[in-house]
Amino acid sequence: MDRRDIPDTTIQRLPLYLRCLLEAQTVRMPVVSSSALAEMCGTNAPQVRKDLSYLGELGTRGIGYDVEALIAHISGVLGIDERRRAVLVGYGRFGSALLGYPGFGERGFEIVAVLDSDPTKIGTRVGDVTISDVRELESVVPATGAEIAILATPAAVTQAVAARLAAAGIRGILNLAPVTLSLANGVAVRQVCLSTELQVLSFHLAQGPL
């Protein structure tokens, strides 16, 4: 299996499949059919089978997929079968909420550093990390071995901070600021804009009763 052959739309659905499989595991479901998994995930069985076919020969016809084995396989494809170190940049209200989110650790991600520019926060211990000065970014990133950055920064400084992170060795950025980043090839960027998502919801509501 070559990860480059997996469509982006399939990759975006894999975390959803993984979440549903983990729920199945908690209720001690040893095997799940494509139909059952589709129902849990809100999609259809042909889509599930097509997506999973990109991952190799999985499952047994007429029986289904071994839940534990499929969890391990999808985790490996997503690269979360090993711990991924991340640095959080921006410790405002949004950043502090993210640091307290248990889902990161449960999915294999560990926030190993927090950076901020507020002198009243720098040096403060939060959880297992101490907030560092964002001016020390170039030394903090290599020292922690972080390869992912979560940006919860003001829009005006996000591009500059992202460029510094890329130069310091960060390979993937989750950008929460309403700014489209322009970075050199080799740095994966995922954009999450809550205001955009809310506007899309508003559009659907404006159509009348669902």
CA distance 209 to 13: 28
CA distance 182 to 66: 42
Asked if 69 and 104 sit in the same domain, the reply is no
Res. 58 pLDDT band, cuts 50 70 90: confident
CA distance 175 to 178: 8
Nearest CA-CA partner of 150 in 96, 95, 195: 95
Q: Residue 98 CB: number of other CB atoms within 10 A?
A: 20
Residue 208 lies in a domain: no
Residue 142 lies in a domain: yes
Region 172-182: mean pLDDT is 91
Res. 130 pLDDT band, cuts 50 70 90: very high
Region 78-82: mean pLDDT is 80
CA distance 31 to 66: 5
Last residue of a domain, one of 21, 50, 78: 78
User: 73: domain CATH number?
Assistant: 1.10.10.10
Last residue of a domain, one of 78, 99, 117: 78
Which tokens belong to 135?
A: 């001016």
Asked if 40 and 13 sit in the same domain, the reply is yes
Region 72-79: mean pLDDT is 89
Q: Is the dihedral of CA 153, 157, 159, 162 positive or negative?
A: negative
Asked if 58 and 106 sit in the same domain, the reply is no
Domain containing residue 8: 3-78
Task: Give the pLDDT of residue 209.
Answer: 66
Calculate the alpha carbon distances from 38 to 21, 35, 48 in Å: 11, 5, 6
* Stretch among 79-83, 147-151, 169-173 having the lowest mean pLDDT: 79-83
Last residue of a domain, one of 78, 104, 125: 78
In this model, does residue 143 exceed pLDDT 60?
yes
Nearest CA-CA partner of 150 in 82, 199, 103: 103
Asked if 163 and 189 sit in the same domain, the reply is yes
